[in-house]
């Protein structure tokens, strides 16, 4: 079982993703389909929050998972679930895609 959930700022995640020497995490976007279609981080995997339990084996296979939603609340719930269910490292993107748009990539549409 994962010991805890690490909260990452958008800048911290961007730095991680830009570091070729660091193993890359699974970017798990847990928003609804229309939200994901509107905007998402490059490389994000879409698994709506309600589908996470059914797809746990697929998600838990990743050594590190960063949970993402609009503002960081739904993703924190998923992160807590994953922390109880898996052995990998679990992270939550604090402020969600909205923070990413503000702090990292202004071209990512806000809603």
DSSP β-bridge partners for residue 92: 7, 67
pLDDT for position 1: 44
Token pair in block for residue 94: 């604090």
What's the Rg (C-alpha) of the chain? 13
| C-beta of residue 40 within 8 angstroms of C-beta of residue 66 | no
Residue with tokens 């503000």: 102
Domains and CATH numbers, the chain: 5-103 (3.40.250.10)
Query: In a structure prediction context, what are the per-residue pLDDT tens digits for the chain, which is 111 residues long?
Result: 445 899 999 999 999 999 999 999 999 999 999 999 999 999 999 999 999 999 999 999 999 999 999 999 999 999 999 999 988 999 999 999 999 999 999 999 999
SS3 97: helix
């Amino acid at each position: 079982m994962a010991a805890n959930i690490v909260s990452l700022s958008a800048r911290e995640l961007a730095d991680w993703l830009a570091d070729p020497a660091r193993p890359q995490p699974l970017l798990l976007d847990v928003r609804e389909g229309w939200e994901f279609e509107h905007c998402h981080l490059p490389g994000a995997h879409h698994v709506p929050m309600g589908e996470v339990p059914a797809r746990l084996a697929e998600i838990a296979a990743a050594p590190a998972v960063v949970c993402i939603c609009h503002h960081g609340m739904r993703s924190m719930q998923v992160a807590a679930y994953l922390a109880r269910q898996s052995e990998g490292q679990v992270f939550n993107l604090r402020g969600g895609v909205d923070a990413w748009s503000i702090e990292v990539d202004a071209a990512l549409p806000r809603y």
